Chains A and B, each alone.
Chain A
Amino acid sequence: MIKLTINQQEITTQADPEMPLLWFLREEVQLTGTKFGCGQGLCGACTVLLDGKPIRSCLLPLAQAKGKSIETIENDNIPELQALQAAWLEHSVPQCGYCQSGQLMSATHLLQSNKAPDNDAIRSAMSGNICRCGTYERIAKGINQAALELAREI
């Protein structure tokens, strides 16, 4: 029996504790916004926040999420994520869109830990997320705009 919190909701499960969190999210609780890309922590498509830190959910056994708080792309209550989503729409960031949940979760953590990231900080935070469509330029614009919007709201 494993208890964890997903998007502020407590969940108790008897799923296989060795199953990576990614597959628990996708197949057991139908939160399919988090994507499978490589299964080796190389592409970042499966990025979620675990107690506020970005992790590759394809590598984390469910057991290690026990008692932890998970935030996914479906969470509609994170100010940084909301600002990023608005900026993503404004700049028409996604193409195929498959990697964007992971991109947005990495960017969310960046803005939570750094209110005004410079180019190096953005690059460092985002270099773990591959986009095959090549939307990096717009991701950079989206992050900068969201940072500005958040600063304005304070």
Chain B
Amino acid sequence: MDLFMANKLTNLSKNNPLTKPISGNPHQSENPSRRTFLKCSLAGGALMVSAIHIPAAARTGSNESHTAKPVRFPLLAIHADNSMTLFNCRSEMGQGATTIQAQYLLDELDADWSLLKQVEQAGADPQQFGPQNTIGAISSFLGWKFHRDAGAQLRQLLVNQAMAIWQVDAESLYTQNSYIYHRPTGQKLSYGELAGLLKDTTLPEKFTRKTPEQYTQIGRSVKRLDMAEKVDGRAKFGIDVSLPDMKTAVLIRPPVAGSQLISFDAKSVKQQKGVLDTFSIPQGVVIVADNYWHASLARKVANPVWNNSDFSNSSSHSLMQTFRGQLDTPAQKHNERGDFSTQLANAASEQRFELHFEFPFITHVTMEPMNCVAWQTESQLQIWAPTQNRNNAKQKLQELFELTPEAIDFNTTLMGGGFGRRAQEDFVVEAATIARQVSYPVKVIWSREDDIQHGFYRPLNAQKVSASVDDKGQLQAWQHNVASLSTKAWHFSLEERDTDGGDWIAYGGAEISLYQSEHFSCGVTLNKAPLHTGILRGISHGYTNFSREVVMEELAKKHKLHPLQYRQRHTDNERALPVLTKLRKACEPYEQQPNRKLGYAFGFEKAPKGPYQYYNAAAFVLTRSNNIWKPEKLILVLDHGTIINPDGLLSQVEGASIFALGMLLHNKITIEKGQVQQTNYHDYPLPRFGSQIPIELHTIESDAWPMGVGEKLQGTIQPAIANALTSISGHPITQLPISAEILQQHQIALD
């Protein structure tokens, strides 16, 4: 009998931001009708452990969905020569998802790391398609049980079979480095040999997972499996996929979001060198040519005429004005407790505090621009896509074109960056739409200008934080209001799309705080616009936590308390407190010195129930020499649960700090007459070599569920840096990006 894992996965998905968005969302409703279990089989001499995923509709007997058939996706194969193949069921963008899956599996299996010879991307076969979306730092989290259980059960199966073959008891056996040993006789069998002798591949119901002191791979800085191919040009990203007779297409999309094409000059386009075809699809004007260069040249003569949407009357300036006006009268309220209004009205003026914040539209600019290869053959729609979200992308194709899962062959490639942009399926849908109108395989390539002007932007937003305190500075009332754009129309999960839950990514984090306050309110107003919005590394915590942490720092200073002590006084969370305590200690050598200034911040996420949570804190140290302030150090303390790969964690932290600098100092999309004004890296600059800041990383030892890191530090690093600048300038930073004038005025060298 297969081991039934339904309960475990159902519990997981309750707190999984992918299936249901995240902490404290009052609108989420759990869909309990999913289950996944593990199965083992012998195929071509290899022992294979797979996950069998039964979608909701199959279990309820409903015919409404094509996705109703159980799907199998392999996790690991042990071959006769004892080598192994890992089937990567997540999307790899350098965050280490592939390697972490291998660490989980091989550790519990007691397998030899050097025998892991191949990594294959699962999902090439529709029968191997499972829940594989890679968003919100999820790979380390979900694999923690799933992949470890697969490894542990496989090991137990091998042990049980060896007991039967050798007619010995369990106590006389042990496993190590892909071998099983009979201690008294010294007999041994490799896992590969044993696989060939198996009579029964039923996974045992009784098995044990390792305890931390038994780990061999978990907690080890193993080299990432995708590293070697990334230094010599061999790595194949989506844009590198090539098929025989493949053509290249570009798409001219409407400059004003939500506009329709009226006409374009197809005749002139067709006369251009190399052009093979041109036609329109709902997304815009398609030009297909023999190569990218010819396709992009032909854009210049297409002269598309658009029926501009009402959004052409909007600008980022006018939107921000609207948002500012909505902060006092929020349309929705979340997690209200006590009586905020009365409390604030009765507070003396010196006990009240309020700050307004403004954050721009920003976009992802992954180094690899969006692209996708699609080919409609007689029997199948074939897709090669660098996507974080293959399940949704495939499901969307099934719905749009009324296809069965078997009619789509979906291949996920390596990705040149994701950061949330590749959670959207738009670029896959476009390519498929084009491919269905031509007889050859087609690769759609976005220019950098396409990428910047037709992104899924982190939404422009205004915030107001109001607080009142008692005589000692202790919070009495806290209100965090957000006005922004609605995000639900493009929510990365099809299940959440167009539901209220899908709007969470515009304000999430404002509605839940670890800082105790008797009276609490979060007010939200969201506006509709046709401009695409979406998740971007850090999601809404990137700005909601920024505001909270700037206000906490100001309140601490106002009451002459150490900013970290002030935070400690406002929480009794048992994982937050050690993080704050450790950071205070780490900062001591730098504090109270004339030529040093520090800023601090704390960050967390905590699902209402279950293990999806992390806690971290940062301090940014600036030092002055020759009257110039320069960054000296970013000190971080992390409790993100069990650490799977210490060096991988450090590389994510390093990257996150550079990414944070981009948002703090540079990133800003502006809109005039409904059109994005920025086009390329000259007007949407990013931090360059030399911007790196020395990092001092501390971690809290923990056996809690592991959480990702790169995505989760944006809401902490940014306010820590901003608060350090404030400690020099005296003025809290309430608008991003920070203007160059402020830095110049206070002689701060930060780039």
Mark out the residues of chain B between 448 and 507 whose CB falls within 8 Å of any chain A CB in the assembled complex: 448-449
Query: A92 contacts B224, CB within 8 Å?
Result: yes
Mark out the residues of chain B between 362 and 401 whose CB falls within 8 Å of any chain A CB in the assembled complex: 365-369
Q: Mark A98-130, 1 if CB is under 8 A from B, else 0.
A: 111100100000000000000000110011111
* Residues of A with C-beta under 8 A to B651: 92, 95, 135, 138
Query: A42 contacts B680, CB within 8 Å?
Result: yes
Binds A, one of B63-71, B302-310, B681-689: B681-689
Q: Which single member of A72, A96, A104, A138 contacts B368 (CB below 8 Å)?
A: A96
Query: A40 contacts B689, CB within 8 Å?
Result: no
Q: What is the distance, in angstroms, from B277's C-beta to the closest C-beta of chain A?
A: 18
Which single residue of chain B is at the shortest CB-CB distance from A85? B231
Take A20-B293, A35-B368 as given contacts and tell me if A76 and B656 are in contact as well, using a CB distance cutoff of 8 Å.
Answer: no
Take A95-B95, A97-B94 as given contacts and tell me if A89 and B233 are in contact as well, using a CB distance cutoff of 8 Å.
Answer: no
A70 at the interface (CB under 8 A from B): no
A49 at the interface (CB under 8 A from B): no
Q: Mark B430-458, 1 if CB is under 8 A from A, else 0.
A: 00000000000000010111000000000
B291 at the interface (CB under 8 A from A): yes
Alpha-carbon distance between A94 and B229 when the two chains are bound, in angstroms: 10
Take A96-B417, A98-B367 as given contacts and tell me if A31 and B233 are in contact as well, using a CB distance cutoff of 8 Å.
Answer: yes
Which single residue of chain A is at the shortest CB-CB distance from B240? A32
Which single residue of chain B is at the shortest CB-CB distance from A45? B367
By size class, the interface of chain B is 35 or more
* Residues of B with C-beta under 8 A to A92: 223-224, 227, 647-648, 651
* Residues of A with C-beta under 8 A to B681: 38, 40, 42-43, 130
Query: B659 contacts A134, CB within 8 Å?
Result: yes
* Residues of B with C-beta under 8 A to A136: 658, 687-692
Q: What is the distance, in angstroms, from B294's C-beta to the closest C-beta of chain A?
A: 7
Take A95-B94, A97-B414, A136-B692 as given contacts and tell me if A36 and B445 are in contact as well, using a CB distance cutoff of 8 Å.
Answer: yes
B588 at the interface (CB under 8 A from A): no
Q: Mark A21-62, 1 if CB is under 8 A from B, else 0.
A: 001001110111111111110110100000000000000000
A131 at the interface (CB under 8 A from B): yes
Query: B242 contacts A96, CB within 8 Å?
Result: no
* Residues of B with C-beta under 8 A to A137: 654, 692, 695
Q: Which single member of A74, A89, A135 contacts B655 (CB below 8 Å)?
A: A135
Which single residue of chain B is at the shortest CB-CB distance from A103? B689
A133 at the interface (CB under 8 A from B): yes
Q: Mark B505-517, 1 if CB is under 8 A from A, else 0.
A: 0000000000000
Q: What is the distance, in angstroms, from B274's C-beta to the closest C-beta of chain A?
A: 8
* Residues of A with C-beta under 8 A to B95: 95
Alpha-carbon distance between A37 and B226 when the two chains are bound, in angstroms: 21
Which single residue of chain B is at the shortest CB-CB distance from A123? B690
Query: A134 contacts B233, CB within 8 Å?
Result: no
Mark out the residues of chain B between 227 and 254 whose CB falls within 8 Å of any chain A CB in the assembled complex: 227-237, 239-240, 242, 248
By size class, the interface of chain A is 35 or more
Q: What is the distance, in angstroms, from A39's C-beta to the closest C-beta of chain B?
A: 6
Which single residue of chain B is at the shortest CB-CB distance from A31? B233
Alpha-carbon distance between A85 and B680 when the two chains are bound, in angstroms: 29
Take A16-B294, A89-B223, A134-B659 as given contacts and tell me if A97 and B235 are in contact as well, using a CB distance cutoff of 8 Å.
Answer: yes
* Residues of B with C-beta under 8 A to A4: none
A19 at the interface (CB under 8 A from B): yes
A68 at the interface (CB under 8 A from B): no
* Residues of A with C-beta under 8 A to B75: none
A139 at the interface (CB under 8 A from B): yes
Take A27-B291, A40-B680, A85-B232 as given contacts and tell me if A133 and B224 are in contact as well, using a CB distance cutoff of 8 Å.
Answer: no
Query: B658 contacts A96, CB within 8 Å?
Result: no
A66 at the interface (CB under 8 A from B): no
Query: A89 contacts B654, CB within 8 Å?
Result: no
Q: Which single member of B365, B414, B448 contacts A39 (CB below 8 Å)?
A: B448
Mark out the residues of chain B between 281 and 318 whose CB falls within 8 Å of any chain A CB in the assembled complex: 291-294, 296
Take A129-B689, A136-B691 as given contacts and tell me if A39 and B447 are in contact as well, using a CB distance cutoff of 8 Å.
Answer: yes
Query: B367 contacts A96, CB within 8 Å?
Result: yes
Alpha-carbon distance between A97 and B659 when the two chains are bound, in angstroms: 16
Q: What is the distance, in angstroms, from A150's C-beta to the closest C-beta of chain B?
A: 16
Number of A-B contacts (CB under 8 A): 176
Alpha-carbon distance between A142 and B370 when the two chains are bound, in angstroms: 29
B746 at the interface (CB under 8 A from A): no
Take A40-B680, A94-B231, A130-B688 as given contacts and tell me if A19 and B448 are in contact as well, using a CB distance cutoff of 8 Å.
Answer: no
Which single residue of chain B is at the shortest CB-CB distance from A23? B293
* Residues of B with C-beta under 8 A to A131: 367, 658, 689
B416 at the interface (CB under 8 A from A): yes
Q: Mark B267-281, 1 if CB is under 8 A from A, else 0.
A: 000000110000000
A73 at the interface (CB under 8 A from B): yes
Which single residue of chain A is at the shortest CB-CB distance from B94? A95
Which single residue of chain B is at the shortest CB-CB distance from A28? B291
Alpha-carbon distance between A10 and B365 when the two chains are bound, in angstroms: 36
Q: What is the distance, in angstroms, from B77's C-beta to the closest C-beta of chain A?
A: 26
* Residues of B with C-beta under 8 A to A76: 232
Alpha-carbon distance between A116 and B95 when the two chains are bound, in angstroms: 32
Alpha-carbon distance between A43 and B366 when the two chains are bound, in angstroms: 11
* Residues of A with C-beta under 8 A to B691: 136
Which single residue of chain B is at the shortest CB-CB distance from A97? B230
Q: What is the distance, in angstroms, from B413's C-beta to the closest C-beta of chain A?
A: 12
Alpha-carbon distance between A132 and B294 when the two chains are bound, in angstroms: 28
Query: A132 contacts B447, CB within 8 Å?
Result: no
Which single residue of chain B is at the shortest CB-CB distance from A96? B94
* Residues of A with C-beta under 8 A to B232: 33, 73-74, 76, 85
Query: B448 contacts A37, CB within 8 Å?
Result: yes
Query: B415 contacts A96, CB within 8 Å?
Result: yes
Query: B230 contacts A100, CB within 8 Å?
Result: yes
B217 at the interface (CB under 8 A from A): no
B23 at the interface (CB under 8 A from A): no
* Residues of A with C-beta under 8 A to B659: 132-134
* Residues of A with C-beta under 8 A to B601: none
Which single residue of chain B is at the shortest CB-CB distance from A95? B94
Q: What is the distance, in angstroms, from B663's C-beta to the closest C-beta of chain A?
A: 12
Query: A133 contacts B231, CB within 8 Å?
Result: no
Alpha-carbon distance between A26 and B292 when the two chains are bound, in angstroms: 10
Q: What is the distance, in angstroms, from B661's C-beta to the closest C-beta of chain A?
A: 8
Alpha-carbon distance between A31 and B369 when the two chains are bound, in angstroms: 18
Q: List 23 A-B contacts (CB under 8 A).
A: A27-B293, A32-B239, A32-B242, A35-B368, A37-B368, A40-B681, A73-B233, A89-B223, A96-B94, A96-B366, A96-B415, A98-B366, A100-B231, A104-B231, A122-B689, A127-B689, A130-B681, A131-B689, A132-B365, A132-B686, A135-B651, A138-B651, A140-B689
Shortest Cβ-Cβ A-B pairs, 4 listed: A33-B233, A134-B658, A98-B416, A95-B94
Which residues of A pack against B, CB within 8 Å? 16, 18-20, 23, 26-28, 30-40, 42-43, 45, 72-74, 76, 85, 88-89, 92-101, 104, 122-123, 126-140
For the complex with contacts A30-B242, A73-B232, A129-B689, 19 further pairs of A-B residues with Cβ separation under 8 Å are: A20-B293, A23-B292, A33-B233, A35-B367, A40-B681, A89-B223, A92-B648, A94-B94, A96-B414, A96-B416, A97-B94, A126-B689, A130-B367, A131-B658, A132-B419, A132-B659, A133-B367, A138-B654, A140-B692
